[in-house]
Chain A
């Protein structure tokens, strides 16, 4: 009798717990990075209008691409009258960074039984803001509920910003210059302080510095591949340096 009842009831409680963690993830919509991103999307809708996109196109773009730099680049190539293949190349080049971003989150997020289809679906909601959010917070969430937690945050963030684009299109044509400047600056300074504050491994700090220095430098040398070179080159250099440091620390430890 007890066993008969135990199964379905336990399943129900489990489901409620997943839902609870989904809701906790949703609450992240009021966090500082989420608010900054929303302001950026108000700016995006003004840019889309200015560039000749319709409301529907701007909304569809936000929901289907969900990467602000890629959206800006696509609008840029479209207004420039570039052929489809050229637009594809420009956007895909800027989106290569998604691969290591998503890959670095996966081992933390999934359990052994998480279906790949669920992860493929959820990966759409991963962009810089949710990457920073996940890097910082997943650790404090019980592993079993991390997928639900990330889904709660990621999906809510994407849908809210899609709604923001739909509503603010045509309403806000531009911010006063000083406010626009402050809003624009919020994104980078937020990333700088939050990524540094959440960096626990030394290798992340070295990669942080390498990326900051190489990003603008590479932009001068190889404007089309700058982020790619800075990321692959800077990240690999940081990894090798850190590996050397660990090896010598180990040798010193063994020698002592």
Chain B
């Protein structure tokens, strides 16, 4: 189904160009931003919200194996993990290990 040169062309046009155009525009737009400027605050807020939207979707609508696990387990593991992370002085190692442990225990318990 994948003819070699055509596939590479698709990757270049619909993959590389479709993605890097935005990176280049980001460089050009970012070069006009001052480090202390109001507009940088807005750009930073939009970038953060975008990344967190992608992140939350990974938990709520996962692909692969996790798509068969119950939503409450994934949300519970992430939520409790975040609460423990905040209580433990915002240590990233805690923020990663607690939800993963909860998830694995949940998956094992549900069989």
A residues neighboring B (CB under 8 Å): 32, 43, 52-54, 57, 60-61, 64-67, 69-72, 74, 77-79, 84, 87-88, 91-92, 95-108, 110, 116, 119-120, 123-124, 126, 128, 131-132, 177-178, 180-182, 184-197, 199, 201, 203-204, 206-216, 218-219, 226-228, 230-236, 238-239, 242-243
Contacts and interface: CB of A to CB of B under 8 A. Distances in A.
Contacts, number: 320
Contacts of A204: 44-45, 48
Interface of B: 1-2, 4, 7-8, 10-31, 33-35, 37-38, 40-66, 69, 74, 77-78, 81-82, 85, 90-96, 99-100, 103-104, 107-108
B29 A103 contact: yes
Given A132-B51, A191-B55, 8 more contacts: A57-B2, A92-B18, A100-B50, A103-B26, A197-B90, A215-B56, A227-B50, A234-B49
Indicate the member of A101, A131, A193, A206 with the most B CB atoms within 10 Å. Answer: A193
A120 to B, nearest CB: 5
Contacts of A235: 42, 45-50
A161 B29 CA distance: 28
Contacts of A103: 26-27, 29-30, 33, 43, 47
A98 B23 contact: yes
B10 A32 contact: no
A226 B57 CA distance: 10
B56 A216 contact: yes
